[in-house]
Structure 1
Amino acid sequence: MGELRIHSVLVTGANRGIGLGLVQHFLGMPTPPKWVFAGCRDPKGQRAQELQNLASKHPNLVIILLDVSNPGSIKAAAATVEKHLGGSGLTLLINNAGIAMFNNLENETLEDMIQVYTTDTIGPLLMGQVFLPLLKKAAQGNPSSALSCSKAAIVNISSSTASIASSSYWDMVQIVSSRCSKAALNMLTKCQSLGYGEHGILCVALHPGWVQTDMGRVGGHQPPVTVDSSVRGMLNVLSSLSEKDTGTFLDWEGKVLPW
């Protein structure tokens, strides 16, 4: 297992839950990134208060206005990130932002499907496209020829509910739009690994576990995994990824999940 040493990281959906946990852990590393970019839709609002508190203590944390469902917002965020990087590249892009509509098969709607797909699938597609020049720059500036998250990587936060083979938790929660959008995100991850690998960028889909977040607590069920445990596990997995792992679907403990 290698050590995760990254120059810069951008986490989307960073104002709460897993996104906030990732930001906290990056800042708390023995050798933290020079830049931690935290994207959220309302950087100055009450929902970003914890991020604001962190930013007051950590000068390397930059909170960025970012709505991944808005192409203009993504481009503006990339310009802000590029300005802070000052000629260096973006090492790690974590597409964490996501939404969930708790509809079953009978009451799923066109509007909800479009909204969920736009955030969960199209957002990461556009993020990869817009931030590709900065990711390529990071890869080119790394002396290692091997793929790793310390060189340049896109990490798409997926879900075990996206697995067509396992159909996990169906009896507990159907969330049809999320299952479909995350399954599509998995295919996007595979496509990104095939398209961006030649530029030295590793791409992986990562299931964080069933985590104790606002989104995770559904149907009166208490998720078994804490945010802290999930994030520690995912960072441990990221530190060990290599070329053989690009384009794969893994969980927070490093297990390969069925498509």
Structure 2
Amino acid sequence: MSEKLKGNILVTGANRGIGLALVKQLGETTGEEGHIYACCRDPQGPGAQALRDLSTQCPGKITVVKLDVSDVDSISSAVQTVSRIIGAGGLNLLINNAAINRPEIPAPLSACEKKDMMEAYETNVVGPFLLVKMLLPLLQKAAEMDSTVKGDKMSCSRSAIVNISTLISSIEKCPETFYKAQMYPYRTSKAALNMLTRCLAEDFRRHNILVAAVHPGWVRTAMGGEMASLTPQDSVSGMLSILTSLSNKHSGMLLDWEGNTIPW
């Protein structure tokens, strides 16, 4: 059964593309019960103008937070900021959306260097790992506070981590997708994010914290390109519909924006 998303929600990479669309639609659908912490590397820079405008349009609903997920000090500072604002409350939903692709598509083996691999892993895997680790007390608090939930039912309105992954992270599906875009650093880092998702799901079952990965589809963003089949708005609408229906049985799974299971 679907239930409305609510409570404190943190979104990384929120200044453009899928992240910005997530903040916009969450702001429209969570009502008075929701508050969104929209994180990006440079909240005062030109690249965050749309996010600042959105925050102004939704006074008291969106808090813009400086966060560079490739920088441990920035992560620590952002967690302190969010913790201070939330106070006695908990964090109900963390959406790890921030990601990079190095080098440019199609990123064949011949074009990839060590720095491309390391930068992709630092942002796409280590960043979410550290953010989850530091936010765990707030996620636990949210899981414990929801007195409306009986038993061990998990949900994204109680306490959850959603990692934005991709179809091309699937090892089983690689033969079908590889020659469309080789993307060595991006593929391998997202496959590692999938393993992080599985590990966290197993670890956090005892806390009743749901952990899942979601493929947003091929989306028209700076990374997806103009030929992509989905707008950020349509992708996010589908993903949010899926998130409202997730429960215990979905923890540790990789799903697409329409709710289909993707093999690891």
Using structure 1 for the length normalisation, give the TM-score.
Answer: 0.96
Letter in 1 for 2:26: F
Letter in 1 for 2:164: I
Q: 2:13·2:40 contact (CA, 8 Å) conserved in 1?
A: yes
Instruction: Please give the alpha-carbon distance, in whole angstroms, between the structure 1 residues aligned to 2:136 and 2:129.
Output: 11
Superposed structure 1 runs of 4+ greater than 4 Å apart? none
Tell me the SS of whatever aligns to 2:100.
coil
Instruction: Show the counterpart of 2:94.
Output: 93
Tell me the SS of whatever aligns to 1:94.
strand
Instruction: Show the counterpart of 1:110.
Output: 114
Alignment of 1:8-23 (within 5 A): 8-23=8-23
When structure 1 is superposed on structure 2, of 129-138 and 78-87 the one drifting more is: 78-87
Instruction: Please give the alpha-carbon distance, in whole angstroms, between the structure 1 residues aligned to 2:165 and 2:77.
Output: 25
- Count of matched residue pairs: 256
Over aligned residues, Cα RMSD in angstroms?
A: 1.1
Tell me the SS of whatever aligns to 1:99.
coil
- Specify which of 131, 137, 141 is matched with residue 137 of structure 1: 141
Cα-to-partner distance string for 1:176-225 (whole Å, 9 max, x where unaligned):
100000000000000000111111100001000000101101xxx60001
Instruction: Show the counterpart of 1:26.
Output: 26
Tell me the SS of whatever aligns to 2:244.
helix
Cα-to-partner distance string for 1:138-187 (whole Å, 9 max, x where unaligned):
00101213111111000000000100111143222111100000000000
Q: 1:11·1:19 contact (CA, 8 Å) conserved in 2?
A: yes
Tell me the SS of whatever aligns to 1:148.
coil
Question: Normalized per residue, which structure has more helix?
Answer: 2
Letter in 2 for 1:148: S
Instruction: Please give the alpha-carbon distance, in whole angstroms, between the structure 1 residues aligned to 2:49 and 2:32.
Output: 22
Alignment of 1:1-259 (within 5 A): 1-29=1-29, 31=31, 33-58=33-58, 59-101=60-102, 102=104, 103-143=107-147, 144=149, 145-167=152-174, 168-217=176-225, 222-259=227-264
Tell me the SS of whatever aligns to 1:90.
coil
Instruction: Please give the alpha-carbon distance, in whole angstroms, between the structure 2 residues aligned to 1:52 and 1:166.
Output: 39
Q: 1:248·1:256 contact (CA, 8 Å) conserved in 2?
A: yes
Tell me the SS of whatever aligns to 2:110.
coil
Unaligned runs of 5+ in 2: none
Q: 1:26·1:32 contact (CA, 8 Å) conserved in 2?
A: no
Instruction: Please give the alpha-carbon distance, in whole angstroms, between the structure 1 residues aligned to 2:185 and 2:4.
Output: 34
Unaligned runs of 5+ in 1: none
Instruction: Please give the alpha-carbon distance, in whole angstroms, between the structure 2 residues aligned to 1:222 and 1:83.
Output: 42
Instruction: Please give the alpha-carbon distance, in whole angstroms, between the structure 2 residues aligned to 1:176 and 1:241.
Output: 31
When structure 1 is superposed on structure 2, of 78-87 and 127-136 the one drifting more is: 78-87
Instruction: Please give the alpha-carbon distance, in whole angstroms, between the structure 1 residues aligned to 2:5 and 2:193.
Output: 26
When structure 1 is superposed on structure 2, of 140-149 and 128-137 the one drifting more is: 140-149
Using structure 2 for the length normalisation, give the TM-score.
Answer: 0.94
Q: 1:159·1:209 contact (CA, 8 Å) conserved in 2?
A: yes
